[in-house]
Amino acid sequence: MNNKSLKLLVEKFILYLRERNFSLETIRAYKSDLNEFINFLKTEFPDKQIDDINRFILRSYFHYLEKGKTYQVHRSTIARKIYTLRSFFKFLIRLEIIKVNPLEYLSTPKIDKRLPVFLTEDEMAKLLDFNKQNYKFGIRDQAILELLYSSGLRVSELVSINIDDIDFFGEMVRVIGKGNKERLVPIGETALKYLHQYLKFRNKIVNDNSEKALFVNHRNKRINVRSIRNIVNKWIRLASIQKHISPHKIRHSFATHLLNAGCDLRSVQEMLGHKNLGTTQIYTHVNIDKLKQVYHKAHPRG
């Protein structure tokens, strides 16, 4: 296998994804998956060419993912890697480098549906009401947490927000979601209040008027995704909440709490920026479980 030429093809594929406005997180995942596959080929099938890749090689790779690594790979991760390779081979067919997609009829492992992990309303209140005033960036962190929960944003969407994207009068935030698609999402009064307070703090510390980012780090530059994760981890720990909660799980909490309160599924889909209603429907399973508990407690013969 000519490792160098294959890497060049991967770079062409990544460029194609950028031109199609795929999100940075998706592009990173695709690139990581393909580089892992290249390293596997280099080790296990060094003499094979790109058009020699067949079902046997691919099944060997998936067996390697399931059994041959030092850490467990979830079925959902393997399914994603299969999807990445299938897309890559389709791209190579388009370039007329190969004629047949070796993944065309290869089945994807069945994925067990896992209910999303989320904070209860009491746990969310505990996180948001925890006193952050004694910390230099406490008001910024409070505004971040409030906005994540108030609007159900993805972390990548949150970090890309500029000051001008917040409409305080209309109580909306403009976000650029997956596929570079723009949407408007409501912001609650509490989140707007803390955003007002944070902007006063921001104006005192940021001297560079060219910095348009809403949320900035200690260097007064746009905050990144990793920093948001660290912020959430920090306050989860300090608030003594005994759950492993990522920023994305606050998004799960947003959706679950809205549906539990009677919000219709289509509206939640619109706010989350989901392309398919089926993606949003997983949150109804959480709601159904709650309904079942109420039913069994209340019904005479439940």
63 is catalytic: no
Identified catalytic residue from 81, 140, 154, 257: 154
| CB contact set of 183 (below 8 Å; sequence gap of 6+) | 174, 175, 177, 270, 273
Angle at Cα 178 formed by Cα 174 and Cα 181, nearest 5°?
50
Identified catalytic residue from 140, 202, 249, 251: 251
154 is catalytic: yes
283 is catalytic: yes
- Cα torsion at 248, 249, 252, 253 (round to 10°)? -130
For 44-87, the DSSP string reads H-TT--GGG--HHHHHHHHHHHHHSSSS---HHHHHHHHHHHHH
Check: CB of residue 27 under 8 Å from CB of residue 17: yes
Residue 171 falls in which region: left (phi positive, over 0), alpha (psi -120 to 50) or beta: left
Identified catalytic residue from 80, 90, 183, 274: 274
Identified catalytic residue from 30, 149, 198, 283: 283
**Cα–Cα distance for residue pair 276/278, rounded to 1 Å:** 5
219 is catalytic: no
Identified catalytic residue from 178, 222, 229, 285: 178
| CB contact set of 12 (below 8 Å; sequence gap of 6+) | 91, 95
Strand segments (E) across 94-240: 166-167, 172-176, 182-186
94 is catalytic: no
28 is catalytic: no
Question: Catalytic residue positions?
Answer: 154, 178, 248, 251, 274, 283
